[in-house]
Structure 1
Amino acid sequence: MTKGIAVKRTSTTAGLLVALLAAATFGLSGAFVKPLLEAGWSPAAAVTVRALIGGIVLAPIAATALRGKWGALWLARWRVLGMALIGVAGTQVVYFAAVQRIPVSTAILVEYMAPLLLVAGVWVVTRRRPKVVVLVGSVVALAGLVLVVSPGGTGSLDVLGLGFAALAMVGCALYYVIAARPSRGLPPVAFAAAGLLGGAAALGLVGLTGVVPFAATFTTVDMLGSPAPWWVPLLIVGVLATAVAYAASITASEMLGSRLASFVGLLEVVAAALYAWLFLGENLSVPQLLGGLLILAGIAFVRSEKTEPALVEPEVALVETRVEPVETAKPA
């Protein structure tokens, strides 16, 4: 019994480490996409190429992981389609539609309220109120998120822009739900590769229809204070902030479940702020640092609820069914 508890704890710890890797690599995207945007790339074009590069990088690894069991892709076709259309393409499109109408910080704040949406969704579906530690963790993490993104309070907010941001929040929540679904034999890296390639195709089609601006320039860009070919930041984003990030995030979601993985995903915002400070020279304020600590505290609260049943319930069952062996086994 003790071994089973240790395995559960180790699995959660490993999942948290993978989720931290996902947040750290996802956070790189802002610092390295910004030079492309400043050079004339539209957000949709940058994201499309980013997803395509990520999918291509993961494709040979995915083929090796599948070991010829291509039927696993067919069995998971609806999950793959959901990841492509919602997790990769749809959420990105509505987010960019939001930032065209409202401040970026406000759009990020609304989108990253996805963990709270997941908590509320489970509450409604199961009709069971989340434990106090989850509710406290949600409030603490939200307070930290507000401090990190520092949403602007000036000017009137566009209702349609807020609506797009809310759709991005729903898409973000659904991403974690889809990522956490049972794999049915499909390796996470293969799922990530298929989702990215499908998402790139969907984004490309959206760009061709003209629903969102789709433009790219193939000149040198200003990256980290020095001129660089346009493909350098794209390669960094495609490999690290897309291929590695999506594969790690999906793996972590399968290990931790959608709720805990989504809370750890809030650290992506903290990582983005740190990278902007390191690479772009943007200010990193004391409230932002405090916000990062509050997000960590919120994750700790949610994790305590996640691990508590695994640590308590087996011991309760042991006492109820084997009272005498437990008592005699105790050291004198």
Structure 2
Amino acid sequence: MTWRVGIAATCTSCGHSAQMMVFYALCSTGDKIIASNKLYGGTVTQLSRTIKKFGFQCDFVDVSDTAAVKAALAQPNVKALFIESLCNPGGVVTDIAALAALTSEVHVPLVVDNTLATPYLCRPIEHGANIVVHSLTKYMCGHGNAMGGAIVDAGKFDWAKVPGKYPSMADDEPAYHGLNFSKATGPAAFTYFCIAVGLRDLGPQLAPMNAFLIMMGIETLPLRMDRHCSNALAVAQWLEKHKDVESVSYPTLPGNKYNALADKYISGKGGAVLTFSLKKGHEACSKVADNCQLFSNLANLGDTRSLIIHPSSTTHSQLTDDQKKAAGAEPNTLRLCVGIENVEDLIADLDRAIANA
């Protein structure tokens, strides 16, 4: 098995700096990003608020609606479609190949955040993605002890095909005495711009010690992800039968509407993250999170240790009610990041916490 399907990559200080550098490379003042409406809350804030300070705009669409995606991509000055392969927190699996076909029709790159799936479960470039971003802080590192981000360039996008559309890569760069990245570096033009201009101007370099810790974590990625996935499925199956649980969202649960996409894109596994909704509502969610002893009540994810959080009041708290609903962060919903502990211990912890809520 090989995970290296891109031509080159750029490492950054965190996942959000990786995303910001991608937008910086692709957009100029007045340009627009089209993004899925099912994204991590911090990414929604970055796209709806922060990029406006750079003069960029973003429209959010339901990427399962082909007509809506086509209409959004047909707008003037659209420079990218941004999605998550496996969405946080709702357990949605995105149809990467279908969206890649739509973006190729209008010569716009498909950018995929592959943080939750990791390259072990999903390799978006094999399905048509042009750029892949990761928060290395999460499962790639795996131990909650370092921060980092990565941008992987497929090297398959012709930045010079439409004159003036992607000037960062296709026009002469004055700061480097007229160097043209597309002409000088060919298919790796995007990566060279990110390194030579993005890292220089924005400054989000990956710290050496963090790089070392992340490299150490990657050595055990396959072992950890297999255990994460098997534990998460067992917990999801147990929750689905619990009398106080209203619903469970996990893509490989029997009958889940994302079963086929999980088979196609994430190796038939569901990842480590799942959500469940309680019949008793928001207050019960807070009590369950506080009652847990093995599950730590933390907003991080990607740790070997199991975590629980109430997304609506934490990771997605800056969003509107409609945005929370689209993301799967309802008031009565809890997110679990299932670790690699003994699964019977994890289930017992949840059982006790729910009973005392």
Above 0.5 in TM-score?
A: no
Q: Give 1 or 2: higher strand fraction.
A: 2
TM-score when scaled to structure 2?
Answer: 0.26
Q: Per chain length, whose mean CA-contact separation is higher, i.e. which structure has more relative contact order (CA < 8 Å, sep 6+)?
A: 1
TM-score when scaled to structure 1?
Answer: 0.28
